Amino acid sequence: MENNISKDLAAMSLQDLLENGIHFGHEAKRWNPKMSRFIYAQKNNIHIIDISQTLERLKVAAKFLEEAASRGNVLFVSTKRQAVEIVRDAAIRSGSYYMTARWVGGLLTNFATIKKSLNALVELEKSFEEGVLDRTKYEVALMKKEWARLFRLYGGVKSLSSKPTAIVILDTNYEKAAVKEARKIGVPVVGIIDTNSDPEDADYPIPANDDAIKSIRFLINVLADAVIKGNKGNGVKHSIKDYSKIEVKIIRREEEKANKAEVINIMPEKSVEAVVTKPEVKRTSSKVKGILERVKEEAQKKETKKPSAAKSKTIKATKEKAVKSEGTKSKKKVAKTK
């Protein structure tokens, strides 16, 4: 069996597991009775895991992952906060899919619906690379926001086209939905389980501390090395690029440029300036002529409405006489009253 296992795993000893704190379980009151066969002892109300069984089952799981990676791609799953970065980096390094934000229901059992979201994510990234057409800056900002949401959920599985050959789950008790879907479609589960988990949830259970960062990093990297040996570096190629922080090119459709291109294609023997500029000059001169004509017409109308100079003088004189006559009449009335 050891001929098919990597040298690092074949040379691994119990001391390596002890140094990484893999033997520490949960409190005794939080245990799952089904894990009793993997528990070595109880100390200070903490269960101690039998790491001899851990080492044996780790080698079996690694051998299986090596074989599974040679047939297809493996999926790593963990949404624990302290394990997100470790699992993501190991999956990218080994060329595997990963799911670290949250398990999206139906990823395995209803893939036809999930595929629509994956296509939307890929189309957004393609448009960001080539440039978006006729969009405002506000619309581009909304597109980036939608991309960030989709990438957070599906960034690790955006190129998924068929079911994985195996799923590595950190803490099957924490990822019950992923275990349920894997069981439903018959995908083998390699599970890192602690003393509070059910070992029957995994086809290849590995009893170990699934909370400590040091323990998680050690186990996940061992399993990732097995995947690399199986796929020989030909796994999933992840393109990690944060499109929410880059400047997206906006392509505009200009009618003038389109018209120029059409004219050039129709009449290539004439110069571009001769074909393009002359109609524009004619259009502008006709507009100016129309404006001047309207101004002249309005001026003529105003002049026709105005009375002549002689008429205006007579009108002014009659107005003055009328005012004087009214003044004298008012004076006479005042004198009579006195």
In a domain, 159, yes or no: yes
Q: 166 and 71 share a domain?
A: yes
Q: What percent of the chain has pLDDT over 90?
A: 58
Instruction: Tell me: pLDDT of 62 over 80.
Output: yes
How far apart are the C-alpha atoms of 103 and 175, rounded to whole Å? 8
Instruction: Tell me: pLDDT of 124 over 80.
Output: yes
In a domain, 241, yes or no: no
In a domain, 239, yes or no: no
Residue for token digits 């996940």?
220
Q: 295 and 323 share a domain?
A: no
Q: 318 and 188 share a domain?
A: no
Least confident stretch, 28-32, 123-127, 296-300: 296-300
In a domain, 26, yes or no: yes
In a domain, 250, yes or no: no
> For residue 39, which amino acid is it?
I
pLDDT at 209: 94
Quote the pTM value.
Answer: 0.71
What is the pLDDT confidence band of residue 134, given thresholds at 50, 70 and 90?
A: confident
Q: 195 and 321 share a domain?
A: no
Question: What is the greatest pairwise CA distance in the chain?
Answer: 144
What is the pLDDT confidence band of residue 261, given thresholds at 50, 70 and 90?
A: low
Q: Could you tell me if residue 45 is left (phi over 0), alpha (psi between -120 and 50 degrees) or otherwise beta?
A: left
Q: 128 and 8 share a domain?
A: yes
Q: 69 and 160 share a domain?
A: yes
Least confident stretch, 174-188, 200-214, 248-262: 248-262
Q: 172 and 276 share a domain?
A: no
Sign of the Cα torsion 42, 47, 53, 55 reads: negative
> Average pLDDT, stretch 224-231?
94
Q: 202 and 273 share a domain?
A: no
Q: 218 and 290 share a domain?
A: no
pLDDT at 322: 65
Instruction: Tell me: pLDDT of 29 over 70.
Output: yes
In a domain, 178, yes or no: yes
pLDDT at 57: 95
In a domain, 211, yes or no: yes
In a domain, 37, yes or no: yes
Q: 335 and 222 share a domain?
A: no
Q: 183 and 278 share a domain?
A: no
Q: 328 and 226 share a domain?
A: no
How far apart are the C-alpha atoms of 190 and 75, rounded to whole Å? 10
How far apart are the C-alpha atoms of 135 and 143, rounded to whole Å? 10
Enclosing domain of residue 332? 314-338
CB 76 within 8 A of CB 236: no
Tokens of 285: 């001169």
Indicate the number of domains in the chain: 3
Instruction: Tell me: pLDDT of 258 over 60.
Output: no
How far apart are the C-alpha atoms of 206 and 17, rounded to whole Å? 12
pLDDT at 316: 66
CATH code for the domain in which residue 191 is found: 3.40.50.10490
